[in-house]
Structure 1
Amino acid sequence: MNHHSLKATKETVHLGGFSHLLKPALTVESGDKIDVETYTGYYIHDKAPADFITPEFTEICKNLTPERKVAGGPHLLTGPIYIQDAQPGDVLEVKLEAIEPSLPIGFNAIRKGCGALPQQFGQPNLRFIPLDLDNKIAEFPQNSGIKIPLKPFFGILGVATPQSDRNSIPPGNYGGNIDNRHLQAGSRIFLPVFVEGGLFSIGDGHSAQGDGEVNVTAIETSMKGTIELKLHKDFHLTTPLAETAEHIITMGFGETLDEAFKLALQNTIEFLTCFTNLSPEDAYVLCSIAVNFHITQVVNSPNKGVHGMLAKSMMPGNFLDLT
């Protein structure tokens, strides 16, 4: 096992989407660990206060080359990372070992025509929110006494597909802009592999977010973290699956919440029948009496997200043993 460092530079980031045509920023072997750095706010850097900007981020914003601009999404992603021997049909495990803000400030933006209530809140507004990194809180609004716990995670964890200009906004079976607040340090996510090398990218750091992410952004934050990438050749998925210390998390993405929920439910049933001895009908009943389904996000057009949370404490033994 090797331990790598992947800094965010104009050679190691890409903007707006995923592409299998991008030159890898790093090549690793299964089981390697990576200290990774991500930046956020490419399109608002010229409006940001000084403590949001670093010389490295400025260099990216001013000199990112056209070939690193993939599609029209707003996200600046670090990667892609090429995993040796990864082939379509494999599963990539991403273990999130450490995640923390790299700067003491983030932003939230209301964008015209976006969010859950675009007619009611249609006026664009950009707010920069200080982060108290020592006490792990953000006070919002300032001087209100409302203190929001910082629970950092990466909103985007995804792999490339045969599409060369996949926009970074909607999530899908490749992962991408999942925006699941439970994927904090100590969790792991499993992603289907679609192209040789996997080509994994990471970014869209959030210091805090509510389920739904209703106004289209969280506290968007530049991040640093440590991840481990591991290939599974004898495990197959068609959509992402995650695990935290307490839960198995299934996912569904669709153009409506009804569609996303139905897919999350079907994926939970499929997971239970695969990893336990339950029949599909028993799995369906278990979902009704013991699985909690949550809205992940409603703003990553055209796909909304729903996730199911299955408590590991009620399951026999280590039934998801993929070590």
Structure 2
Amino acid sequence: MSIHAVKRAQCHLAWDNSISPALHVQSGDTVTFDCLDASNGQITSSSTVSSLHSLVFAQLDQVNGPVHVAGAAPGDTLRVDVLAAEPAEWGWTACIPGFGLLADEFPEPALKIWSLHKHTAEGSQGGEGGGPVPGEYGYAWFDEARGIRIPLRPFAGEMGVAPAEPGAHSTIPPYRTGGNIDTRHLSVGSTLYLPVGVEGALFSIGDGHAAQGDGEVCGTAIETPMKVTVRLTVLKDTPYVQTPHFSACNPHASTEEFYCTTGVGPDIREATRDAVRHMIAFLTAQHGLGRVEAYMLCSVAGDLRMHEVVDMPNYVIGLMLPKSVFTRG
């Protein structure tokens, strides 16, 4: 295994399989990315709401990379193990006019700058022996006077590979090859599986989030610059990975882990149906269930979640199935 790095300046603003790789690695190598926040540095820790009026939207949601992984070919799967995610000491959340689930009801710009506090062994609470809750990086005060405190669970909102289709594809929406999936469960310790569309996969990452709720309803999380480290491994013979799949810990129950399959598309009902279809395919391939058995298991033990609902034209719907139902591994 080798360790590599992608610099902050090695970024791009579209998913495009013609972009030259910033780095070539072998399957199983580890890569650290130094990423700016989703504003591409246009918002800083000293910004005010007036900064939103001068945002250049064409510069938003840049991603770092791409990374060419030797041996990756169309039809393969790229396994992405999230090893570390280190946010800056500050972040921002904004209501941006024309953006978000209730954009028509919140037309005025608003900006909140956060101070992000990392847990220390002495000062953290809630975990075993007084340590931090597993997966919780630290905290930020939403309103300290009112006692509203947000646990931090950093992750990269953008993780994806280049699409097979030629041309430049916006980094704003999610795709079946990943992209702006904004799925908060993909924090340290999780594993993401992406369907490879081109030789070398051409993996990129960005859009650091210190915390986010499912759906990211106002269109921004706690956006922050971030250093994130992943291990990239090529997998063969995984035809059931047709959209992003992942394995992760439940942020609300630190001892629970789950499998998740997703549906990605412009029709929320069809994306939901795809999430279920993909879990059925996973269960038949990995656990030997019949399709009817798998469908029933999804109904009695699976949880449907809206992971991303604002980055149009596509939604990301996940079906999460607890690993604990499989008592024999």
Give the aligned length: 295
Query: Unaligned 5+ residue runs, structure 2?
Result: 49-56, 125-137, 250-256
**Contact 1:152 1:208 (C-alpha < 8 Å) held by counterparts:** yes
Task: Write the mapping of 1:119-268 to structure 2, written as runs, cut at 5 A.
Answer: 119-134=104-119, 136-141=138-143, 143-161=145-163, 162-236=165-239, 237-245=241-249, 246-268=257-279
SS of match in other structure, 2:311: coil
Q: How much identity, in percent, do the aligned residues show?
A: 40
2:65 to 68, 79, 83: 79
What code does the residue aligned with 1:99 have?
A
Q: Name the CA distance, whole Å, in 2 between partners of 1:200 and 1:40.
A: 18
Distance (whole Å) between structure 2 residues aligned to residue 163 and residue 145 of structure 1? 50
Q: Which amino acid aligns with 2:155?
A: F
In structure 2, the residue matched to 1:36 is: 33
Contact 1:131 1:138 in 2 (8 A): yes
Residue 49 in 1 paired to residue 53 in 2?
A: no
CA distance in 2, matches of 1:125, 1:43: 18
Residue from 288, 292, 296 that aligns with 1:281:
292
Aligned residue among 69, 80, 93 for 1:108 = 93
| Paired position in structure 2 for 1:295 | 306
Separation in 2 of the partners of 1:203 and 1:273?
A: 33
* TM superposition score normalised by structure 2: 0.85
SS of residue paired to 2:296: helix
**Residue 146 to residue 307, structure 1, CA distance change in 2 (3 Å):** same
Distance 1:160 1:41 in 2: 19
Distance 1:299 1:137 in 2: 25
> Unaligned regions of 5+ residues in structure 1, if any?
53-70, 319-323
Structure 1 stretch 182-191 or stretch 236-245: which is displaced more?
236-245
For the 8 Å contact 2:38–2:206, the answer to whether it is kept is no
C-alpha displacement of 1:204:
0.7
Contact 2:40 2:62 survives alignment (8 Å):
no
More strand by share: 2
Q: Which residue of 2 aligns with 1:13?
A: 11
Offset, 1:163: 2.9
Amino acid across the alignment from 2:11: V
Q: Does 1:88 align with 2:96?
A: no
Mapped to 1, the partners of 2:298 and 2:196 lie a distance apart of: 27
Q: Contact 2:39/2:59 (CA < 8 Å) preserved in 1?
A: no
TM-score norm. by structure 1 comes to 0.86
